[in-house]
Chain A
Amino acid sequence: MQTTGMKKDSKISPVMKKQLQSIVGEKWYLDSPNDLYTYSYDATPIFQSMPDAVVMPGTTKEVSEVLKIANEHQIPIIPRGSGTNLAASTIPVHGGIVLNMTRFNQIIEIDQKNLTATIGPGVVTADLHNAVEAAGLFYPPDPGSMRISTVGGNMAQCAGGMRGLKYGVTKDYIMGLEYVLPSGAVLRSGGKNVKDVAGYDMTRLLVGSEGTLAVITEITLKLLPLPETKRTLVAYFTKLVDAAKTVEKVISSKIIPATMEFMDQGTMKVVDDFAKLGLPLEMKAMLLVEQDGPEELVTRDIERIAEIAKQEGASIVQVSKTMEDGARLLAARRAALSALSRLRPTTILEDATVPRSRLAEIVEEVERIAEKYQVQICTFGHAGDGNLHPTCMTDERDKEEIHRVELAFEEIFHTAIRLGGTITGEHGVGLAKMNYLHLKVGEGGIELMRQIKEAFDPNNIMNPGKIFANSERRRLVVKK
């Protein structure tokens, strides 16, 4: 057999395979070479590793029984949704069972009285948006991948999105969870109570835990009333610093827009090529601002933001006439990452984040670092919350260049920390940034996190090899 991708020494014995099949049904147990290969990657470039099996449970009870077996035999469990994450958090780096949760895709309840939704973790984020908006309600988190990413995955990584500035991120909307421990125990935390301080906040702890503590089987979400209307404004700048100053000035004028997105010249060129928007490509940067709410307030805010942008040196300021116009521009911003990937075969996107007052500094530093290491980096992101996506266009087949890319990103992370920022704003640590976690939380912080993990998962079966660096392993992980 030439299927070198398949491990010879599968951790799963024929007896275990039978047991797992009898739990979930043969149809939902996959272990052919092709099926394993298609669950060996996520949306993170370069990382790849083969699982031993893919199991797709349909009920909490099935999850519990699968976990019991895995725990008994110390088989890694890698919970997974649509595999759109960008921190390599769903790569089965130590093999084991990829636990595909996409069958948990029911919207169980939209509670109009309490303004909550209770759903399975496999619900696609955009489907949730459509369902709650049909009821006149609003679930703000909107990660770039929302058309395919699942809410469970958003929760595991604590995904952000373009509305983070005004509405916060996924963790601000998770009220309650049902989760399964490696022992098979099914537990609940939180619920529909707005106020609930009974003991440690396990809900908050599990959000962003990247599948390293437990498997989430049900999520109760907080909903808001759907904003009446929204308007979009675009401002173009010949100087980066003017764009950054505009962001600072808007916020210090006590206006909080729903969205404040930044794109540099490189990103504008590529997005324009993809979406054919006719952007003024001689400009150095653009800001895309959206405000939502009652009509009067939206109009007032957008007019004031337009004034501020002009005062701070914007060359062109355009206000969208209709909601559709605005939606078109935002759609282009959503496509920025994928559109950048048209330039070179491999696109590595990071999410170094700084306090928004240091925005101009970090953007200029990224430019300097790209020059220093002779790599191509475009920057776009959520200017309003300081969460930037310096994105490197490279080719994973060129090992020497990839090494320079690694050095450049290392320097970007150190720079972000120096400016009072963090190594990741919304993607999570996963495999991609575990070597930098200590920069942010310190060795003491890492040790405490390890002890928490041990309390949940004494046998270390839950997504092992993530978050905590156990070696000097860098990007090149493509395992046989």
Chain B
Amino acid sequence: MKLTKTGEGVLRKFDMDEIMNCMHCGFCLPACPTFRQTGLESYGPRGRIALMKGVANEKLSIDHEFEKNMFACLGCRACETACPAGVAYGSLIETARVVIEENKKSQAKPPLARKIAFEHLFPHPKRMEWMGTVLWAAQAAGLQNLASKTGLIKVLPRPLAEMQEAVETVASPKERKKRQLKMNAEKEKLFTVGLFTGCVMDVMFYETNQATARLLTKAGCDVVFVENQSCCGALHAHSGEMNGAKGLAKRNIEAFEKANVDFVVNNAGGCGAALKEYHHWFHDEPEWKERAMAFVEKMRDANELLAELPPLSFTKPMNVRITYQDSCHLAHGQGIRNQPRELIRSIPGAQYVELHQADSCCGSAGIYNMTNYDMSMQILDDKMEDVKKTKAHLIVTSNPGCLLQMKQGIIRTGMQDKIEAIHIMDLLARAL
């Protein structure tokens, strides 16, 4: 694929100063899960930045290989934590993907499935809800089991076939209708918070959102479910669909401005990192940048806010061994590492055991486990070896993608009767 005129135009998007800040010391390499799997320079952050530099200097072309290299990155940002030179790798890889997508658009049509997902599904809460209804109906009718038993499942592509086993029963439409749009603090009210419900989160993990709201009311917050909010846009941004991402961001900013809350709370590490970076998305739109800043200042991860509020009083002790897998975008993206661990430790009876390399990506990484299935599963299998060694009964995560990946890992290793994967908000709610 040749560099087209558009291609040359998009090169200017690269922040050359940021690229030059990488002094190729290699400190990032041992932190990078894809480098650890392959041992190839082009699968590590240092190599990817070099390739960006090659493209920006027009020594390399924006071709299929460049695309493969850039999309093989999990975007876990463990390299940012490891980088003493402070290179903002996350924004570099996002730019690289924008450059790739814009170059492609100037040449050919994107794959239909991707177009449907990004333009016609994630951005529309009603459609996501409808998807949820379909999923619920299928589950309720036992289609999933039937499909598994009869081998019909084998006609599904392997990534989807494996993953559907990991998906739990979603909430019924009737149950979802029962949601109260406002829940009052159970003790003296300290704050009013708006819950960011997310797209996938609210369909597949409706109960987790409800649990989060309950925990917040217990801790002294009025919780409102703000209407007209939408998907955070992280998946779009990570895939190079920056215009789509910005459109969603604007909708969320507007919706929460109207709600007039003290804090906006989310419970998905991946969404949270994107929500906290909205102001970076609008560097060329000053008015929106300012509104985004105000939104970002109110944004808190649920772990972060619960750790600051008066301690929750748990009434149901849990005499189990618990370990925790960091969400990359919570740990590396938002620097939230201690709070979830402290919350888990505060459950009476809980025996906390640290997972070796807990902050190393599990391989889920948004839709990576579908787009790069083999690599994702290699990383997951290594992760499960470490999980086994903890001898924990529960593995706790704080992001829906990680949770699904852990569930899948448990199935892959046949540990269903030994260990359960659970979102931290559901765990905490269980102990209330």
Contact surface of A with B, Cβ cutoff 8 Å: 1-5, 30, 32-35, 37-43, 45, 56, 82-84, 102-103, 124, 126, 145, 147-149, 274, 335, 337-339, 341-342, 345-347, 395-397
Residues of B with C-beta under 8 A to A38: 40-42, 47, 50-51
Whether B23 lies near A42 (C-beta < 8 A) is: no
Residues of B with C-beta under 8 A to A42: 24
Whether A35 lies near B58 (C-beta < 8 A) is: no
Which chain A residue lies CB-closest to B51?
A34
Whether B25 lies near A35 (C-beta < 8 A) is: no
Residues of A with C-beta under 8 A to B25: 43, 84, 145, 337-338, 341
Which chain B residue lies CB-closest to A56?
B39
Interface string of B1-29 (1 = CB under 8 A from A): 01100000000000001001101111101
Whether A338 lies near B83 (C-beta < 8 A) is: yes
Given A42-B24, A82-B26, A102-B39: A335 touches B58 (CB 8 Å cut-off): no
Residues of B with C-beta under 8 A to A126: 30
Interface string of B389-419 (1 = CB under 8 A from A): 0000000000000000000000000000000
Given A33-B60, A37-B51: A2 touches B3 (CB 8 Å cut-off): yes
CB distance from A254 to the nearest CB of B (A): 36
Residues of B with C-beta under 8 A to A396: 20
Whether B65 lies near A2 (C-beta < 8 A) is: no
Residues of A with C-beta under 8 A to B17: 345
Complex: A287 Cα to B86 Cα, angstroms? 25
Whether A37 lies near B50 (C-beta < 8 A) is: yes
Complex: A56 Cα to B40 Cα, angstroms? 10
B60 partner, pick from A37, A145, A147, A337, beta carbons under 8 A: A37
Given A335-B84, A338-B84, A345-B20: A43 touches B26 (CB 8 Å cut-off): yes
B69 at the A interface (CB under 8 A): yes
Residues of A with C-beta under 8 A to B2: 1-2
Complex: A41 Cα to B25 Cα, angstroms? 11
Residues of B with C-beta under 8 A to A4: 58-59
CB distance from A328 to the nearest CB of B (A): 14
A3 partner, pick from B29, B42, B50, B61, beta carbons under 8 A: B61
Residues of B with C-beta under 8 A to A274: 84, 86
Residues of A with C-beta under 8 A to B60: 2-3, 5, 33-34, 37
Complex: A102 Cα to B25 Cα, angstroms? 17
Residues of B with C-beta under 8 A to A41: 24, 50
Residues of B with C-beta under 8 A to A43: 23-26
Whether A2 lies near B41 (C-beta < 8 A) is: no
B54 at the A interface (CB under 8 A): yes
Whether A148 lies near B26 (C-beta < 8 A) is: yes
Complex: A124 Cα to B69 Cα, angstroms? 24
Whether A33 lies near B84 (C-beta < 8 A) is: no
Interface centre among A102, A126, A149, A345 (most CB of B within 10 A): A345
Whether A33 lies near B65 (C-beta < 8 A) is: yes
B85 at the A interface (CB under 8 A): yes
B66 at the A interface (CB under 8 A): yes
Residues of B with C-beta under 8 A to A2: 2-3, 58, 60-61
Which chain A residue lies CB-closest to B21?
A345
CB distance from A445 to the nearest CB of B (A): 32
B54 partner, pick from A37, A82, A346, beta carbons under 8 A: A37
* Residues of chain B in range 32-67 having any CB-CB distance to chain A below 8 Å: 39-42, 47, 50-51, 54, 58-61, 65-66
CB distance from A345 to the nearest CB of B (A): 4
Whether B24 lies near A34 (C-beta < 8 A) is: no
Complex: A83 Cα to B39 Cα, angstroms? 12
Complex: A47 Cα to B430 Cα, angstroms? 58
Whether B21 lies near A32 (C-beta < 8 A) is: no
CB distance from A350 to the nearest CB of B (A): 14
**23 residue pairs A–B, Cβ–Cβ below 8 Å:** A1-B2, A2-B2, A34-B60, A34-B65, A34-B69, A37-B60, A42-B24, A43-B25, A43-B26, A82-B26, A83-B26, A126-B30, A147-B30, A148-B27, A274-B86, A335-B84, A338-B25, A338-B27, A338-B85, A341-B84, A342-B84, A345-B20, A346-B20
CB distance from B67 to the nearest CB of A (A): 10
Complex: A83 Cα to B61 Cα, angstroms? 24
Which chain A residue lies CB-closest to B19?
A345
Interface centre among B17, B39, B58 (most CB of A within 10 A): B39
Residues of B with C-beta under 8 A to A145: 25-27
Complex: A346 Cα to B85 Cα, angstroms? 11
Complex: A123 Cα to B368 Cα, angstroms? 30
B59 partner, pick from A37, A335, A397, beta carbons under 8 A: A37
CB distance from A98 to the nearest CB of B (A): 10
Instruction: List 17 extra interface pairs beyond A33-B65, A35-B41, CB under 8 A.
Output: A3-B60, A5-B54, A5-B59, A37-B59, A38-B50, A38-B51, A41-B24, A42-B24, A56-B39, A83-B26, A145-B27, A148-B27, A337-B84, A338-B25, A338-B83, A338-B84, A342-B84
Which chain A residue lies CB-closest to B29?
A148
Which chain A residue lies CB-closest to B59?
A5
CB distance from A85 to the nearest CB of B (A): 10
Residues of B with C-beta under 8 A to A346: 20, 23
Complex: A397 Cα to B17 Cα, angstroms? 11
Residues of A with C-beta under 8 A to B83: 338
A338 partner, pick from B20, B23, B29, B65, beta carbons under 8 A: B23
Residues of A with C-beta under 8 A to B61: 1-3, 33
Whether A34 lies near B39 (C-beta < 8 A) is: no
Given A3-B60, A43-B24: A342 touches B86 (CB 8 Å cut-off): yes
Residues of B with C-beta under 8 A to A124: 30
Complex: A124 Cα to B54 Cα, angstroms? 28
Which chain A residue lies CB-closest to B61?
A2
Given A2-B2, A2-B61, A145-B26: A341 touches B39 (CB 8 Å cut-off): no
Which chain B residue lies CB-closest to A345?
B20
Residues of B with C-beta under 8 A to A56: 39
Top 7 A-B residue pairs of the complex, sorted by shortest distance between their CB atoms: A338-B84, A345-B20, A5-B59, A38-B41, A38-B47, A341-B85, A341-B23
Interface string of B299-341 (1 = CB under 8 A from A): 0000000000000000000000000000000000000000000
Complex: A143 Cα to B249 Cα, angstroms? 46
Which chain B residue lies CB-closest to A122?
B39
Whether B30 lies near A148 (C-beta < 8 A) is: yes
Which chain A residue lies CB-closest to B24?
A43
A39 partner, pick from B27, B41, B85, beta carbons under 8 A: B41
A32 partner, pick from B47, B54, B65, B84, beta carbons under 8 A: B65
Complex: A60 Cα to B69 Cα, angstroms? 30
